[in-house]
Structure 1
Amino acid sequence: MKFKSLILASILSLGFGSQASAYSYETVKGDPMQTRIYTLPNGLKVYLSVNKEKPRIQTYIAVRTGSRNDPAETTGLAHYLEHLMFKGTRQFGTADPAKEQPYLDDIERRYEHYRTVTDPAQRKQLYHEIDSVSQLAAKYFIPNEYDKLMASIGAEGTNAYTSNDVTCYVENIPSNEVENWARIQGDRFQNMVIRGFHTELEAVYEEFNISLTNDTRKEFAAIGKLLFPTHPYGTQTTIGTQEHLKNPSITNIKNYYSHYYVPNNVAICMAGDFDPETVVATIDKYFGSWKKSDKVTYPQFPVQKNLTSPTSETVIGKEAENIMLAWKMDSAAALQNDTLEVISSILNNGKAGLFDLDLNQPMRCQAAQAFNYAMRDYSQFIVFGMPNEGQSLDEVKSLILAEIEKLKNGDFSDKLLPAVVNNMKLDYLNSLDNNEKRADAYVNSFINGRDWKTEVEKFDRIAGMTKQQIVDFARRHFTNGYAIVYKKQGEDASQKKIDKPSITAIPTNRDMQSAFVKEIKESKVEPIQPRFLDFKNDFTQTKTKRNLPVYYIQNKQNQLFSMSYYFEFGEESNKWLPFAKDYFDYLGTDKLSAKEVKERFYQLACGYNISVGTNSMQISLYGLGENMAEAQKLMEQVVNHAKVDRDAYKKFVEQELKSRRDQKLSQKANFSALQVYGQYGEYNPLRNVPDSTELVSADPQKLIDMVADLKNYKHSVIYYGPLTEKQLVAAIDKNHAVAKSLKDAPAGKHYTKQTTPSNEIWIAPYDAKNIYMIQYHNENQKWNPEDEAKVEVFNEYFGGGMNGVVFQELRESRGLAYSAFADFATPSRKEDSNYAYTYIISQNDKMMDCIRVFNNILDTLPQTPAAFELAKQAIMKRIASQRITKTGIIYSYLSAKERGIDYDLRSKVYAALPSLTLEDIVKFEHDNMAQKPWRYLILGDENNLDMKALEKIAPIKRVSTKDIFGY
């Protein structure tokens, strides 16, 4: 196959087994990532892949444990431990570990007693005592020193996640900071100390509150219960129960940590710019003394029997109705998962799968999807469907099962399987550019117990699959023994309200600093020199015969390409454009049906799409370079010769109107709508849409003509791919239909953010246990590029990560929220204004506390010189190690032009950073945010809010769901 030869051409073949090196390692022949797998004497696995595109490294530290191993009496433990891993060790996070420890021991003892008590009055008294002792321990606690350490080395994406089988810790670091990173992580994983417990517990509980309105989580829990009735996949959830979250055991957490957080149960996965020998030696230096455990065992559970008939459960929640079906499959390590991955694409690849062509494209239901959810012990093959208006969930189920029967009967094109294989390889080639995806592949291999050789050889196995093998597999495994979850719309009576605990704010101790943090901050590393864009030399500008501007960069790495026709107008000029582009998904041409168009693009391993933004739009083509000419001709045929389908338009409108109704059921969608409405007013990106009457009565031919007419407007071409400049221009001249005389972009009505001359409170209704709230301020201040360095440092210092003032004051000190941040935002267009906002999700009865704390820190910015210097250091290191590549260069140029500048703004920021002082930032915040009027945008149930307290702040304006959505 052509695609196979393409992949093999990009591979440096490596031998099997150990290589000559100071450290022995394994490789796999034919691995395009050239992975080295080291195993240190203590059992620690190290996966390394070199990619020198940018001087940064994606790091994951994966622990082979998750909620599957949670004790049944303290579910949610693995996830809570993940949070506590950010609290430090005896070296950092504390001013005096010896004096702190007795208080931490006392808190642990008190929690062990507290969790056994059921009397409400006694529990309240015991919690008060825990809170009091926590105050004493907090004198020594230095919150968020871990984030300070990461900021000091220029890390990005500091995070972690927990799932059924894995807890994984995530950092993206500059390539010159491996030594510091390894030193920090080595201490963290060997010497974790549990502190700041009760406020962090409350933050985790707020995360639980957020999950209560996520009906998809409930569905997955229900699927698990049906498929795995005596296994933690079905008996407990990663977040845990309300009861367990409110009755934690520090002792259980410590025991869990000691058992699973050992080197022979951990893998370090890294991809980026480094020397493998140097990196593994550094890891050995800081992790090599970590003692191996010979007692790593995992709870064992009964074999989960296959269902013999359809078994169902119903989930109730506010969000839109849907249905899930799931089959229990083998473990993620089993070769069966290769077949399941192929089958998921045969059913649903977004273009030419059975669901795509038989259900989604003809709109026989609102949506149908299929995917394989692989886990260490078992996998779940899940199909999902949403009904059209008036369609029952059982009718959707019947449609989905009919497609499964087609799969089992081989009733699909012989060309589909080869196309699936080619497109899977195309996706894999694209993923090689992404260090995160490389490292994530290692995490999955390690956690799931799948040998890396097996993973590398996957595509060879897939390429050898036959249609008959797929059919036989489907007949064996897609039986009537499946689980069904009906998600119905209604009030979930199982949700319980728990009052906020009486937490005394612990001190943030922002002026304190451990010796360890000081050492890391002041450590000397070989600096990375920044590389700023040169818009005159980093890409080529040329023109076609018809004078179309062309922005060109050649891809010299592989045979993939992307090409866009770029128009400098969008929905501000024509509110119908987004609907015209969506309608095109259902159209064929005078020569090809809509189904044939999708099949042909998929067979070419190419794709096209139309995207419409506020003031720009693109028609894009992408995929395998050798098929670009044919794909371009096909795209031009579709865009310029689409054939109207009035029946499809009628169904399209019906689905659009149902989608609008469904959006009103979602808490997140309501909050997004309120935010846009509160910032822009009635004329905004969400409300500037055709109403239902306009949609129903519109002539679909006009939508087709609208897209075809784009060739008559001025536009440019953006290209990254293997063609030479001359070849590209020739291809555009030959295949791209363009009018002889091009029109200027049509005028549009500009979306303009409103000013906030006085305090206001806008409340939109949503019945939930928590509120979503933004405070928004805008005084129509125009953007000045000279201020950009101040803006970046302020945002880092005040509202950014875990070391920011907002996070420390609202979450770390008081446990008021899971999610809280603030930002001073600058516009993407030179004519727009700056604005500021705060953001929080919190329990209803914590709302006024959140407002008070936010206003206090806004009006009087806490000043910490060390934190300020750290913010500057973090930004400088991030800029120095940042590299903008490929089409990112061209889009950076276009963005700069839109802001009225002709240079890389990062160069100005980097040059200004060294001279900035804390006084500059304090003055900036005072001038722009302190003592300012705010528009409070609150989504919540006012029956459960302190309305009298709100009325003292400002007049209350109640806005309806219809107001914010506009329909």
Structure 2
Amino acid sequence: MKHLKLVLAIAMITLVASCKKGNTASSVAKSETQKDANGFSYQTVANDPTGLRLYTLDNGLKVYLSKNTDEPKIQTYIAVRAGSNYDPKQSTGLAHYLEHMVFKGTDKIGTVNWETEKKYLDTISNLYEKHRAEKNPDNKLAIYKEIDRVSLAASNFSVANEYDKMSSSLGATGTNAYTWFEQTVYTNKIPANELDKFLKLESERFGQVVLRLFHTELEAVFEEFNRGQDSDGRKRYAAMLKGLFPNHPYGQQTTIGTAEHLKNPSMVDIHNYFDKYYVPNNMAVVLVGDLDFDATISKVNESFGKLEKKEVKHPELPKEEMITSVVENEVFGPTSESISIAYRTGGVKTEDEKLVTLADMILANGNAGLMDLNLNQKQLVQYAGSSPTFLNDYGYHVLSGAPKEGQSLDELKELLLEQIEKLKKGEFEDWMIDAVINDLKKSQLKQYESSTAVADAYVNAFIHDENWEDKVKFLDDLKKITKQELVDFANSFYKDNYVVTYKRKGVDENIVKVQNPGITPVNLNRGSNSEFIEAFNSIQSEALKPVYVDYASAIKKTKTDSGITVSYIENETNDLFDMNIIFDMGSDNDKKLDLAVGYLEYLGTEKYSNEQLKKEFYKLGVEYYVNTGNEKTYIGLSGLKENLPKGLELLEHLLDNAVADQEAYEKYVQSIAKGRQNTKTNKGSILRRGLLNYAKYGENSSFRNIISVSELNKINPEELVALAKDLKNYKQRMFYYGKDIDNAVSALNASHKVNAQLKDYPEAMTFEEKETGGNVYFVDFDMVQSEMMFLAKGEPFKAENMAASTLFNTYFGGGLSSIVFQEIRESKSLAYSAWSSYSTAREKDDANYVMAYIGTQANKMPEAVDAMMGLMNDMPESEAQFNAAKESTLKKIAAQRINKSSIFWNYERLQKLGISEDNREAMYNAIKDMTLADLREFFNKNIKGEDYNVMVIGNKKDVDLKALNKLGKVQEMDIDHLFNYEKSEDVKM
């Protein structure tokens, strides 16, 4: 499998593949200017596989348009060329907080009486300036209480989440935003028929900013700040940047800002930042999807063309001196140890970008890179990888790793640096550069089938002010680099000029404790509407009709000579294929099966060593995997269609001829044991895997059905190899997505030889879902926030409930305009994240579940729990909000298209529920006729009064255990017991 870094690298490269064509970039790519039917000028690039039309409006706004008709949707981004780099020194975190506030509306959106509300907001702004200037703590507190009082009065004239209500009413998904060093980007994916309303809404939103509901949202940002303090990965990253950039904002100003600045905000500074940078000649509108070019640019011009152009001058940022010696730093936290080694590079549009990109892929490409083969495959470390990042002024190339048991971080560091030395000595085959570039092209073909990925590439190009022609030619430029040129660059670039950051286990002495300010809940005015939303809702869009899948005709079938059924769907997009051999058995049938297929990763044959196998697959542009879950096992092969026969032959050779390796097995067991140790330090795994499974099943679950390390040590690896080889002797079926099914079947007939009579599966273990209620499972963990989940077992799965549960989740517990989010975050500022859902079973005989989540400061937990439990027992009702949720749900179904390989995998999911047809049609028709009374009935029957098991992770010193006792019997869980690990897992053989 590829490392995540490969995806990130491709995103930075931004040479994308066509959504409808399989061609790749050409060296003759040249820009040219054309005019459309309406007289708008636009730029294109010859041989651009993305089909970009780049417009510049009279007011300077850049508009990136590209067509993709896979679904009737448009991925939208509105990008601003300004981020945390430009935060005033006294107001770090400003750009990010402004991002939050842009969702709060304007003088037309989110208000019922702007003239009156504005007076209160002006007063609040003045009070914040006084609060910032005041040094006496008691006086500051008094001013804050006055801010709280005036804010409550101001909320009488505001309407919370009007923007979110309108975007939701479009059927939009992915409504969000993000801020980084050089950008703030606002995201939505909308049904194509809602473009007019979307543009009306967004052009109004970006015309001005109104800082309403300011202090409650500031608390949400504080909760986000706390989440960062609980992330050791973020802390290591911040320390790395600080070492790389001792002067530049990249290392000196975090995007979230400092606690001191968050405590002392200036609404004046925020307004000034918006007025300075949120101007059309510093912004881009990116639209990729099912659109008409000429009509779309006319609509964008009509809406966003009205924004006023202003002179924009970005500040001159500090320059960095050369790093001439190793810089060391360290951070502490409860998670497992790790290390990063970072080299500062040039930024985008420099030669460094090309050379470092190539060097990085030689080092680690997830298959045959120096790190992959020398460290990961030989199991000399727990993990090793690398990743480059290129920004406007500088970039950085990061080598990272996690140590295996008994290995020091310094030993790990030396192993990572040894791979740099091999690069400098040219210790890689001559064919690697071509293979790397082909790998990048192949990955782009696959990744950029989606309109979202294409839009991401355009955003990156805009933010970095890159000429799209250069991006189209990027990989061709890489092809011109010779091995000797790369080696020469490595020798001149990779010296003792790096920043090494040690992430050690221990107490972080720099944690900032944040007090609960005791905010008075503001009024949401859920039943009120602004004049803007009334007019907005009156606009009629052409209806979009849902399209359903006839699975029987969409999934075609044939058979191999051995009689194995091959389901297939043709890939009409490009020349990539994906083949899966499916066994309907997994670790529930034999818990050694997962161990056996994992062991294959480190084995070779009499003909090929493990390293040679990896290289052979990489040369072909083909990847394989063997994966076992609880219920199924998959043997997968994917890559370039023309190399399917050779790739399958190589995979079958491995499956038939794998040779056990005792040393590899010993290291494999050590890696499993170390992985378990690391899992125990990950709060996400503890809550969402350990605690959740225990709350659902208790002692007896698939999750806890594992082989202990002491048992692993006793297993003969020959037994595992035999088990892996025996897989082919069991009943199986196949799925192929690609072109030329006849060629695929021919390859299977030639290479996939099986017995005439295939074996039945071993009987699977069954695990009973326990009744919920009266239990609080608590894990003590060193963290700033506390996180908790609520779980109630519902009635068994019924297909007829899926419509109501889908609508309920939209209305009540999911999204920015849901009841739960509004009440707990928007009104009461009790959590950064809060949601609730009615969760549908995965199997037809399983139960549905009611679930809820809160992530908050420990000192807010009792209030947050009361708020959540109040909602779960008495659903607030709003006819207008219900109608908006209903409209949103229907539009999402109407715009959804299940296509390509998703057809097969969706059918697999439905089959497990006992459904053979596309059930969205029944759901759509049922939701159309639903009323608020129907939703109330669903709530009263399935949600209200449920008995919950509660899962909590937090710092015992901060969590109010007495308050938790009100929810049930508090049981402090031992993490080893939770995961069913041995108390002292011995990782030595």
User: Structures share a fold, TM > 0.5?
Assistant: yes
Equivalence for 1:350: 366
Question: Which stretch has the larger CA shift, 790-799 or 957-966?
Answer: 957-966
Query: Is 1:591 aligned to 2:607, yes or no?
Result: yes
Equivalent residue in structure 1 for 2:619, among 603, 613, 626: 603
Equivalence for 2:436: 420
Equivalence for 2:3: none
Query: Is 1:258 aligned to 2:275, yes or no?
Result: yes
State the AA in 2 paired with 1:571. Answer: S
Equivalence for 2:967: 953
Equivalence for 2:986: none
Native 8 Å contact 2:25 2:473 kept in 1 = no
Q: Secondary structure at the match of 2:378?
A: coil
Q: CA shift at 1:521, angstroms?
A: 2.7
Q: Secondary structure at the match of 2:500?
A: strand
Q: Matched residues in 2 for 1:556 and 1:937: separation?
A: 46
Q: Secondary structure at the match of 1:413?
A: coil
Native 8 Å contact 1:825 1:835 kept in 2 = yes
Q: Matched residues in 2 for 1:846 and 1:654: separation?
A: 41
Native 8 Å contact 2:591 2:707 kept in 1 = yes
Question: Which stretch has the larger CA shift, 486-495 or 692-701?
Answer: 692-701
Equivalence map 1:860-899=2 (5 Å) = 860-899=874-913
Native 8 Å contact 1:213 1:318 kept in 2 = no
Query: Is 1:220 aligned to 2:220, yes or no?
Result: no
Equivalence for 2:749: 733
Equivalence for 2:11: none
Native 8 Å contact 2:30 2:469 kept in 1 = no
Q: Matched residues in 1 for 2:467 and 2:31: separation?
A: 13
Equivalent residue in structure 2 for 1:720, among 726, 729, 737: 737
Q: Matched residues in 2 for 1:276 and 1:787: separation?
A: 41
Q: CA shift at 1:121, angstroms?
A: 2.1
Question: Which stretch has the larger CA shift, 491-500 or 937-946?
Answer: 937-946
Equivalence for 2:782: 767
Native 8 Å contact 1:14 1:34 kept in 2 = no
Q: Deviations over 1:834-873 (max 9, x none)?
A: 1101001100011111110011111110000111111111
Equivalence for 1:506: 522
Q: CA shift at 1:455, angstroms?
A: 0.4
Q: CA shift at 1:15, angstroms?
A: 6.5
Q: CA shift at 1:12, angstroms?
A: 14
Equivalence for 2:822: 808
Q: Matched residues in 1 for 2:902 and 2:26: separation?
A: 26
Equivalence for 1:651: 667
Query: Is 1:792 aligned to 2:806, yes or no?
Result: yes
Equivalence map 1:331-410=2 (5 Å) = 331-410=347-426
Equivalence for 2:5: none
Q: Secondary structure at the match of 1:380?
A: strand
Equivalence for 2:299: 282
Q: CA shift at 1:683, angstroms?
A: 2.4
Q: Matched residues in 1 for 2:639 and 2:917: separation?
A: 31
Q: Deviations over 1:574-632 (max 9, x none)?
A: 22222222211111112110001111111111100112222112111000000000000
Equivalent residue in structure 2 for 1:577, among 583, 590, 593: 593
Query: Is 1:326 aligned to 2:317, yes or no?
Result: no
Query: Is 1:710 aligned to 2:727, yes or no?
Result: yes
Q: Secondary structure at the match of 1:834?
A: strand
Native 8 Å contact 2:25 2:47 kept in 1 = no
State the AA in 2 paired with 1:891. Answer: W
Q: Deviations over 1:425-469 (max 9, x none)?
A: 101111331111100001111111221111000121112221111
Query: Is 1:40 aligned to 2:57, yes or no?
Result: yes
State the AA in 2 paired with 1:930. Answer: K
Q: Matched residues in 1 for 2:665 and 2:596: separation?
A: 10
Q: Matched residues in 2 for 1:162 and 1:9: separation?
A: 32
Equivalent residue in structure 1 for 2:501, among 485, 488, 496: 485
Q: Secondary structure at the match of 2:35?
A: coil
Native 8 Å contact 1:11 1:32 kept in 2 = no
Q: Secondary structure at the match of 2:796?
A: coil
Equivalence for 1:777: 792
C-alpha change, 1:297 and 1:685, in structure 2 (3 Å) is: farther
Equivalence for 1:638: 654
Q: Deviations over 1:896-934 (max 9, x none)?
A: 111111111111111111111111111111111112211
Question: Which stretch has the larger CA shift, 12-21 or 540-549?
Answer: 12-21
Question: Which stretch has the larger CA shift, 47-56 or 694-703?
Answer: 694-703
Q: CA shift at 1:11, angstroms?
A: 8.6
State the AA in 2 paired with 1:943. Answer: K
Q: Matched residues in 1 for 2:245 and 2:744: separation?
A: 55
State the AA in 2 paired with 1:410. Answer: G
Q: Matched residues in 1 for 2:300 and 2:872: separation?
A: 42
Question: Which stretch has the larger CA shift, 737-746 or 435-444?
Answer: 737-746
Equivalence for 2:831: 817
Equivalence for 2:213: 196
Equivalence map 1:64-83=2 (5 Å) = 64-83=81-100
Question: Which stretch has the larger CA shift, 841-850 or 509-518?
Answer: 509-518
Equivalent residue in structure 1 for 2:109, among 89, 92, 108: 92
Q: CA shift at 1:14, angstroms?
A: 8.1
Question: Which stretch has the larger CA shift, 273-282 or 510-519?
Answer: 510-519
Q: Secondary structure at the match of 2:966?
A: helix
Query: Is 1:944 aligned to 2:958, yes or no?
Result: yes
Native 8 Å contact 1:765 1:961 kept in 2 = no
Equivalence for 2:144: 127
Question: Which stretch has the larger CA shift, 119-128 or 601-610?
Answer: 119-128
TM-score normalised over the length of structure 1: 0.97
Q: Deviations over 1:466-487 (max 9, x none)?
A: 1111111111211211111111
Equivalence for 1:520: 536
Q: Matched residues in 1 for 2:181 and 2:770: separation?
A: 45
| Count of residue correspondences | 961
Equivalence for 1:175: 192
Native 8 Å contact 1:369 1:384 kept in 2 = yes
Q: Matched residues in 2 for 1:215 and 1:15: separation?
A: 45
Q: Secondary structure at the match of 1:154?
A: coil
Equivalent residue in structure 1 for 2:178, among 142, 158, 161: 161
Q: Secondary structure at the match of 1:449?
A: coil
State the AA in 1 paired with 2:459. Answer: V
C-alpha change, 1:764 and 1:134, in structure 2 (3 Å) is: same
Native 8 Å contact 1:333 1:449 kept in 2 = no
Percent identity over paired residues: 38
Segments of 5+ residues of structure 2 without an aligned counterpart are 1-15, 982-989
Equivalent residue in structure 1 for 2:119, among 99, 102, 114: 102
Native 8 Å contact 1:12 1:31 kept in 2 = no
Q: Deviations over 1:483-502 (max 9, x none)?
A: 11111110001112221011
State the AA in 1 paired with 2:362. Answer: I
State the AA in 2 paired with 1:818. Answer: Y
Q: CA shift at 1:364, angstroms?
A: 1.2
State the AA in 2 paired with 1:607. Answer: E
Equivalence for 2:857: 843
Q: CA shift at 1:340, angstroms?
A: 1.5
Q: Matched residues in 1 for 2:966 and 2:373: separation?
A: 57
Q: Matched residues in 2 for 1:87 and 1:257: separation?
A: 14
State the AA in 2 paired with 1:227. Answer: L
Q: CA shift at 1:251, angstroms?
A: 0.8
Q: Matched residues in 2 for 1:168 and 1:714: separation?
A: 50
Q: CA shift at 1:662, angstroms?
A: 1.3
Q: Matched residues in 1 for 2:421 and 2:563: separation?
A: 53
Q: Matched residues in 2 for 1:713 and 1:362: separation?
A: 31
Q: Matched residues in 1 for 2:30 and 2:536: separation?
A: 39
Q: Deviations over 1:787-818 (max 9, x none)?
A: 11100000000001011010000100011111
C-alpha change, 1:172 and 1:948, in structure 2 (3 Å) is: same
State the AA in 2 paired with 1:714. Answer: K
Q: Secondary structure at the match of 1:620?
A: strand
Question: Which stretch has the larger CA shift, 641-650 or 15-24?
Answer: 15-24
Query: Is 1:616 aligned to 2:632, yes or no?
Result: yes
Q: Secondary structure at the match of 2:552?
A: coil
Question: Which stretch has the larger CA shift, 296-305 or 782-791?
Answer: 296-305
Q: CA shift at 1:16, angstroms?
A: 2.9
Q: Pairwise CA RMSD of aligned residues?
A: 1.7
Q: Deviations over 1:133-167 (max 9, x none)?
A: 00111011111111111111110011111111111
Q: Matched residues in 2 for 1:619 and 1:200: separation?
A: 48
